[in-house]
Structure 1
Amino acid sequence: MRHLIAVFLFAAALGLCAAPKPKVKLTTSMGVIVMELEPDAAPKTVENFLKYVRKGQYKGTIFHRVINGFMIQGGGYVEYLGKKRTDNSILNEADRATAAGLKNKRGTVAMARTPDPHSAAAEFFINVVDNPALDFKAKTNDKTWGYCVFGKVIQGMDVVDRIKAVKTSNKRSDFLNLPVKPVVIKDAVEIK
């Protein structure tokens, strides 16, 4: 009987000690998307994303790259394609996140970057299909480093699906797959 009580108390203590995962609500011009973040798997990435959320970085930005059958990307540009200033880029934690089981699957949120694996700053994307080619494989080069998944959509995949289906244009060579009608992130806030 003492053993059962000890096990119960230990399990209860674990439940009380486990902090809830941070959540972020994106209010877009097409509806609300709620994301749950994974600080245990990608701590620096989550900290970086929340820093931008808290300082209002994403308010008024757009989803500037929308590819149905791939992903929707935003957080770096305002409606008239002016680039938002960012802090320094962060180290890519795709190796750690992948080891923790986070992969670029439909509904997951990952950091966008240039060919430099460690160039992510504020831009992020939401996978609209499973994208295993974006997962970490090795620290060899920009293609094998992967893209760090740091959360998932827990509400609003219907909104993501509406965004992925918008009409896009390739009229500007520097903005391929740009929605013809801007999809605006009106606000991004941390929620409990």
Structure 2
Amino acid sequence: MAYLPKAAAGLTLAALIGASAASQATIVQFQTVMGDFEVNLYDETTPETVANFLAYVEAGAYSDTFMHRSVPGFIVQGGGFNYDIENAEYGDIASNDPVMNEPLLSNQRGTIAMAKPSEKPNGATNQWFFNLKDNSVSLDGPEGGYTVFGEVAGNGMAIIDAMAELPRGNFTPEEFINNIALDEMPVRDYEQEDYDDNLLPTEDHIVLVQNIVVLDAAVDTAADLDPMPTTRDDSEPDNGGNNGGSGGGGGSVSWLMLLGLLGAGIARRVSRQR
């Protein structure tokens, strides 16, 4: 049985915007097994990207999904895969058409940005990531820039930092999930012995995103925010220095250098998405 949305914490998107196709909501709440946190969306600065994100929210596409990639000191990524709790099965989130890139803001710590396949500047669909540090050098310029479309509010980064501190496993082999995108998946309460025994992670182990709901539909909730403009210089050619590649939108791309074991020592290979 799937987790039920925490209805008391937020309103449905349909109730907030009715039949309007315009992007109105600016504050959303991520409801996760590690705690709930809010994200303020830059609906006026990046309207296409916010509208794209909210379309997935409205459709319930982010319910019972999970953080599938973690790169310490860099990013924590989700939005690409779901988990059927009743049947203990992993699946892909169906993606809509790609959204136009809006690389106007800088990839600073605490921001959320769209992931996308490499060599596709306008290829973002459903995947997103949280910046754990100032990633402007590696993400503002390469691949046309990675669109920042919101920022974490309150103590939300404490929760995301806790996710980033979890051990990670390479669950790409057939005996696990058989998906090349899940080679740096953060897990909870999962030991090296579990991995050696080919124990498939369940809802007790994955960083489950139970739901994403809209909390505030006001169009001006971002008025007092002061996000940093992108450091991208469009007069210079793309140098491709994106700290190990890009990804998202359901597709895997470039690969990072091999890293050592982390946390509980769970085996893992190389990474590939942004």
Bin of the TM-score, shorter chain as denominator length: 0.7 to 0.9
Q: 2:78 aligned with 1:69, yes or no?
A: no
Misfit runs of 4+, over 3 Å: none
SS across alignment from 1:82:
strand
Query: What is the match of residue 14 of structure 1?
Result: none
3-state SS, counterpart of residue 112 of structure 2:
strand
Cα distance in 1 for partners of 2:100, 2:149 equals 13
1:23 corresponds in structure 2 to 27
Q: Is structure 2 residue 43 aligned with structure 1 residue 39?
A: yes
Q: How far off its partner does 1:144 sit?
A: 4.3
User: Within the alignment, does 1:189 sit opposite 2:213 as a pair?
Assistant: yes
CA contact (8 A) 2:79 2:126 kept: yes
Aligned counterpart, 2:127 = 123
Of structures 1 and 2, the one scoring higher in RCO (CA 8 A, sep 6+) is 1
Taking the aligned partners of 1:87 and 1:21, their CA distance within structure 2 comes to: 19
Identity of counterpart residues, as a percentage?
A: 35
Alignment-derived partner of residue 113 in structure 2: 110
How far, CA to CA, are the matches of 1:184 and 1:50 in structure 2? 19
Query: In 1, distance between residues paired with 2:167 and 2:186?
Result: 6
Q: Whole-Å Cα distance in 2 between the matches of residues 171 and 62 of structure 1?
A: 14
Report which of the two has the higher share of helix. Answer: 1
Q: Is the 8 A contact 2:164 2:186 kept in 1?
A: no
For 1:104, the aligned partner's letter is N
1:89 pairs with 2:98: yes
Q: Compared with structure 1, are the counterparts of its residues 168 and 51 closer, same or farther at alpha carbon in structure 2 (3 Å cutoff)? A: same
Aligned match of 1:134: 139
In the alignment of these two chains, the number of paired residues is 161
With normalisation by structure 2, the TM-score equals 0.56
Distance, in Å, in 1 between the alignment partners of 2:124 and 2:102 is 10
Q: Which runs of 5+ in 2 are unaligned?
A: 1-23, 84-88, 174-179, 188-204, 217-274
Secondary structure, counterpart of 1:130 in structure 2: coil
Whichever structure has more strand as a proportion of its residues is 1
Contact 1:21–1:38 (CA under 8 A) maintained in structure 2: no
Corresponding residue SS for 1:53:
helix
SS state at 1:188 partner? strand
Give the conservation status (yes or no) of the 8 Å contact 1:114–1:120.
yes
Whether the 8 Å contact between 1:54 and 1:190 is mirrored in structure 2 is no
The amino acid of 1:145's aligned partner reads G
Report the alpha carbon displacement of residue 68 of structure 1 after superposing the two structures with TM. 1.3
Q: Is residue 171 of structure 2 the alignment partner of residue 167 of structure 1?
A: no
Tell me which amino acid in the other structure corresponds to 2:49. Answer: T
Cα distance between partner residues in 1 of 2:91 and 2:171: 17
Alpha-carbon contact 1:166-1:179 (below 8 Å) kept: yes
TM-score when normalising by structure 1: 0.79
Deviation at 1:125, TM superposition (A): 0.5
Q: Supply the AA of the counterpart residue of 2:36.
A: V
